[in-house]
Amino acid sequence: MIEIEHLVKEFKIPVQEKGKFAAVRNLFSGRYTVRRAVDDLSFRVDEGEIVGFIGKNGAGKSTTIKMLSGILKPTSGRVTVNGIHPFERRMENARQIGVVFGQKTQLWWDVPLIESYRLLREIYQIDPCTYQRNLERYIPMLGLEDVLNRPVRQMSLGQRVKSDIAAALLHNPKILFLDEPTIGVDVVSKKYLHDFIVQVNQEKGTTILLTTHDMTDMEKLCSRVVVIDDGHLMYDGNLDDMVRRFGSTRSLMVEFKGPVDDFPVPGAALVRSEGCRKWYSFDRFASTPMELLGAIEKQHTIHDIEVIEPQLEAIVRNLYEKK
C-alpha cells in the first residue's frame, strides 16, 4: 500500500551574512547550506495496517508525510502510495488519502461545521449517497451532533480534531495520515478518537499511518512502530517488542498514611521521596508491583499506590542511546 525506498529529502537554507549592509548582501549572495531532513529511508506499510511513525522533534516524520501526501517532492529515492507517485499525480493521490494535522485544520474557520462538510463534498465530488451515509455514521460515533451548526472557531480543540478526522474520511480514502492528531486533546475526546479510528480501520480496512508523542495513542492503536532519527530508520517492528527491549523500567509511587524514613525495597531503587510519598523504579522483567508492595507492607502501612509506565519519549530516547 505504502512503499518507501531509499527516500531522501534535502532543503537549501540560505546563509545569512553578518555586519554592515548584511540585509542587502543577503539578497544577492546566493550562498546556502543543505540540510537533509530525510536520509535514505526505507519501509513499507501493508493494506489495513495501523502503523505508528515516531521519533523526536525534527526527526523527519512530518517531512515524510508531506512527501507521501504529494506536498513535497523527494530529492531522490522512490515513494509510492497505492501504486501512485504522490508528487507526480497529486490530484489522483489526494482522492485516495485523508490527512489530519493536529495543529492545523482543513475546515473553514468562520462557517458552521456542516457547511465545511458540504464544501468538501463538492471538492472531492462525493456522490450524495456516500456523503450522507458517512455523515450519518461518523457524526454520532464522534459525538458531533451538537456542533454541526456551530462555527469551527467556537469549538473546543477536542471537537475540532474530531471534526477534522470525520472530514478527512468523508470521501472514503484508502489511506489516512494522522500527524499528532490528539496533541492537547482532553482525555474524553481522546477516548472517542481511539475507538473511532479502530472501528474505521476494522470496518473499512483503512490503512493508517500515525505520528504521535503520546504513548496512549500507540498502545491503543498500533501493533507496529517505525522509529526514525535525523531522517534515518532506527527501528521497525512490534510495539510490545520495542517496549520490552527499550522500556523495561517502570515506576511505583507509594503513598503512606504519614511521613516515613527512606528504606530499601528488594528489587527496586528509591528515586524520589516527598512528604508521605515515595517513588521506586524497577525492572518489569525482574520484579512485579505486587512483589514490591508485599515487601513494603511488611514495613509500613500503604495508603495509596500508582504504577507509572515509561513515557514514549523515554523509550525512544533509550532506543537512541542503545543504538
Q: Where are the beta strands (DSSP E) in 139-242?
A: 175-179, 207-211, 224-229, 232-238
CA angle 304, 306, 308 (to 5 degrees): 165
Q: How would residue 323 be classed by pLDDT, with cut points 50, 70 and 90?
A: low
> What are φ and ψ of residue 130, in 5° steps?
-65, -45
Domain ranges for the chain, please list them: 2-244, 248-322
| pLDDT tens-place string over residues 58-75 | 888 889 999 999 999 999
Encode 198-208: b = buried (16+ Cβ within 10 Å), e = exposed. Answer: eebbeeeebbb
Amino acid at 277: R
Of the CATH numbers 3.40.50.1980, 3.40.50.620, 3.40.50.800, 3.40.50.300, which one belongs to the domain with range 2-244? 3.40.50.300
Single pTM value for the model: 0.78
For the stretch 153-180, pLDDT in tens is 998 888 898 899 999 999 999 999 998 8
Mean pLDDT of 210-218: 81
Q: Where are the alpha helices (DSSP H) in 259-311?
A: 289-297
The listed range with the strongest mean pLDDT (15-19, 50-54, 214-218) is 50-54
Nearest to 10 by CA among 32, 35, 33: 35
17 has pLDDT over 80: no
Residue 287: which of 245, 249, 247, 239 has the closest Cα? 249
Residue 60's closest CA among 105, 8, 103, 97?
Answer: 8
If you search the block for the grid coordinates 480496512, which residue do you land on? 205
At 309 the pLDDT is 78
Domain 248-322 has CATH 3.30.70: yes
Of residues 247 and 48, more confidence is placed in: 48
